[in-house]
A and B are shown apart, each in its own frame.
Chain A
Amino acid sequence: QKEVEQDPGPLSVPEGAIVSLNCTYSNSAFQYFMWYRQYSRKGPELLMYTYSSGNKEDGRFTAQVDKSSKYISLFIRDSQPSDSATYLCAMSHTGGFKTIFGAGTRLFVKA
């Protein structure tokens, strides 16, 4: 079983839609949960991080962590064509340097 599972998509939505991106994981020791956005021909860019369980909101983006289900989500409200990118979930435990990444979900937002 992979430590982190993420549906690669592609996911195609119309402009203005609410987008839900998800990852599941198997290691209950993970404490930090991150979402990165990667545009074509660019490196990943940190969008949000959450420590332990709960929700975090930043503008149109909301990150949710459910540790009991080992499930994390990223919601994008009022999606824009500029949100078209690959979204990577990532997680790590306290201490150490190893972050485990999902394979990424490719998102297309159509104008």
Chain B
Amino acid sequence: ETGVTQTPRHLVMGMTNKKSLKCEQHLGHNAMYWYKQSAKKPLELMFVYSLEERVENNSVPSRFSPECPNSSHLFLHLHTLQPEDSALYLCASSQDGGPDTQYFGPGTRLTVL
């Protein structure tokens, strides 16, 4: 595997379900990000981890819970989501200290029924 991978690619869940999104980066980076992308809206930064410490939490509802067990893996735990949470969730990584250029995974298309 190369670059940034995300699983699953598609997820349909009910409002009472609990699910997790997984991201893995194979680039040797030390910062990882979760973004939400909705139609016709800019990418919304959700969380940033640098060296496994959360450094940004962009006023995200508590029904989204991130976890970064090491610099290569990032999870987004989901519970009691709302239909308006349906979107493309993108993971990205970058190398701290360099230009803020991020490498993105393909995303997880989430639908909340």
Contacts and interface: CB of A to CB of B under 8 A. Distances in A.
Interface stretch (B36-44, B60-68, B70-78): B36-44
Interface of A: 4, 8, 32, 34, 36, 41-46, 49, 51, 88, 92, 96-104
A45 B92 CA distance: 10
Which 3 residue pairs across A and B have the least CB separation, nearest first? A43-B104, A101-B43, A92-B100
Contact of A8 (B6, B40, B45): B40
Contacts of B40: 8, 103
B25 interface: no
B42 A44 contact: no
Given A97-B50, A98-B56, A49 B101 contact: yes
Which of A49, A96, A97, A100 is the most central at the interface, judged by chain B CB atoms within 10 Å of its CB?
A97
B104 A99 contact: no
Interface of B: 4, 6, 31, 33, 40-43, 45, 48, 50, 55-56, 90, 92, 94, 96, 99-107
A98 B94 CA distance: 12
Contacts of A103: 40-42
Contacts of A104: 42
B42 A99 contact: no
Given A98-B45, A101-B42, A103-B42, A42 B106 contact: yes
28 contacts: A8-B40, A32-B99, A34-B100, A34-B101, A41-B106, A42-B106, A43-B6, A43-B104, A43-B105, A43-B107, A44-B43, A44-B90, A44-B104, A46-B101, A46-B103, A51-B99, A92-B100, A97-B48, A97-B50, A97-B55, A97-B56, A97-B96, A98-B45, A98-B48, A98-B56, A99-B45, A101-B42, A102-B42
